[in-house]
Amino acid sequence: MDSTDTSLAKPGLRERKKQQTREKIAQVALQLFAKRGYDHATLAEIAEAADVSPRTIFAYFESKEDILFCDEPSLYDKLERTLEQRPPGATTVDALREFIAGLGPPDEQMKLRKQIITSSESLRLSERARSASLEELIAKSIARDLGDAGPDDLRPLLIAASVTAAFGAVRDRLQEGSDEPISHEEALAIIDQVVEFLRGGLEALQHDQ
């Protein structure tokens, strides 16, 4: 490999420190949101707890909501790569199964974040609004499965909405605070059933082309 190729180079010290600061702010904010309530915790309190200035927070995040949902951009990028790089013959639902299996069980921060979101109607609405970008990404991928369906074709949108709702319901059941929590293994088993159902419907639509 060319020694000048930096595509696989490790982040430098400056980048690592920036990432550590970003992660510390997010971790501290989650703890304060859980302790004081999302609406009552202030950016000034977060800055003090994270030992940074409020100006530093705005160098990484635009708002409290941006801190709370800070994992979403990387999640979107990972899903986009998974869909674009799926092997020949693999459908969108196959790639989604691989994507979800690769996420692993929720860690403590993910659980805490979900508890905070669940406790607030406005945050639940924000979460649904933010999921629209993921749903649009899935719809575009399904459109390719259907032979580049046109913009007036509702099938990709309907399938994407069904996929998002199904996986969202499974994700919610993974939370310890849900009425009937399930394990990560149980969730994957349910997802496998959903994937098989969706794959059958997608293949039927492909055969109707």
Using the predicted structure, report yes or no on whether residue 103 has a pLDDT greater than 80.
Answer: no
Give the pLDDT confidence score for residue 203 in this predicted structure.
66
Q: Categorize the per-residue pLDDT at 175 as very low, low, confident or very high, splitting at 50, 70 and 90.
A: low
Cα–chain center distance at 8: 24
pTM of the model: 0.74
Last residue of a domain, one of 28, 48, 68: 68
Are 54 and 88 part of one and the same domain?
no
Domain count across the chain: 2
- 142 found inside a domain: yes
Are 61 and 77 part of one and the same domain?
no
Are 50 and 90 part of one and the same domain?
no
- 54 found inside a domain: yes
- Please state, in angstroms and rounded to a whole number, the distance separating the CA atoms of residues 66 and 99: 23
Are 81 and 161 part of one and the same domain?
yes
Q: Which of 63, 1, 68 is nearest to 29 (CA)?
A: 68
Are 136 and 203 part of one and the same domain?
yes
| Mean pLDDT, all residues of the chain | 82
Q: Interior CA angle at 186 toward 183 and 191, to 5°?
A: 125
Using the predicted structure, report yes or no on whether residue 162 has a pLDDT greater than 70.
Answer: yes
Identity of the residue numbered 97: R
- Residue 64's domain spans which residues? 13-68
- Per-residue pLDDT reduced to its tens digit, 66-78: 999 998 888 899 9
Are 85 and 124 part of one and the same domain?
yes
DSSP H helical segments within the chain, as ranges?
13-36, 43-50, 54-60, 64-68, 72-84, 92-103, 108-118, 121-145, 155-173, 184-207
- 2 found inside a domain: no
Are 62 and 79 part of one and the same domain?
no
Q: Categorize the per-residue pLDDT at 53 as very low, low, confident or very high, splitting at 50, 70 and 90.
A: very high
Structure tokens at 153: 């074709």
Q: What is the CATH number of the domain that holds 128?
A: 1.10.357.10
